[in-house]
Copies of this chain bind each other. A is one copy, B any other.
Amino acid sequence: MTHSFLMIGQSNMAGRGFLKEVPSIDDEKIKMLRNGRWQMMAEPVNPDRSTSGAGLAATFASSWRLFHNQQDDIALIPCADGGTSLEDWAVEGPLFQNAVFQAKAAQKISTLQGILWHQGENDSNGQKYRLYGEKLALIMKTLREELKVPDIPLIIGGLGDFLQDGRYGPYFNEYNEVNNALIQFAKDHQHCYFVSAAGLTANPDNIHFNAISQRKFGIRYFKSFQQKTNIWESLPDEDHIIEAIHNRSLTKNEKIARLQYQFAMGAVTSNEFQEQLVQLQ
């Protein structure tokens, strides 16, 4: 069985962590949607821009794997788009329509189990927070209707506390109000849970969660999904779970996939590839 999750929102859902800062996650039971079909996950999961990198979905999926039947697959449906406002996600717009199409394609080959949302940086000025809850409610209500998932969990994450520290700080002067709107939204809606970004840190741009913070955030998203609860602070076992995920032993198929990647990228010769493949098989 394949359990799928829809990823929507802006850049911090797509992921901008620098991939060189964290070990890769290779797990043949974690898939991602590409052109309507599942492929083994490889970051960036959500390649919306050339800056795409590590996102929270990778450890969300890995944590899910630690707590579920090892025969089941988890699968990610990446539809987040960097720099987008809540208005850009209006139900008649291209982002929403694309997300519905992708999710429906995934539903043909999996069971949609949850919706992961992270958005709000682009609404952190000009008093947009005042209508945030109302607008998000219409988007999520319509999405649930279109996909026929009235009661699967919707997990919404908070904005980073670093947003006002950087060059674009003045642009995010109402990020706290947006966070409050997200919290209020979770309180007001059934099957919706808020996940705090407390303590998470940023890339040098002070806009995007860095790679290790995305690893932590994904674990919080999973705990929220698993326990159907809000998460108000960092979890005591985040580092421990990340270590377990990064240190997981590769299966034969995963080792072969890595080798094939190296061959395709010209990092091993044809002879080396052949020799190593024989050893693996």
Contacts and interface: CB of A to CB of B under 8 A. Distances in A.
Interface of A: 16, 18, 34-37, 39, 42-44, 47-51, 79, 81, 93-95, 97-99, 101, 105, 108, 166-167, 203-208, 261, 263-266, 269-270, 273-274
A81 B50 CA distance: 19
Nearest to A109: B94
Contacts of A105: 94, 97-98
A110 B208 CA distance: 32
A51 B264 contact: yes
A36 B95 contact: yes
B261 A51 contact: yes
A263 B18 CA distance: 12
A39 B49 contact: yes
A99 B266 CA distance: 30
A270 B167 contact: yes
Contacts of A43: 50
A48 B38 CA distance: 11
Nearest to A38: B94
8 contacts: A34-B81, A35-B95, A47-B47, A98-B105, A203-B264, A204-B270, A205-B266, A206-B270
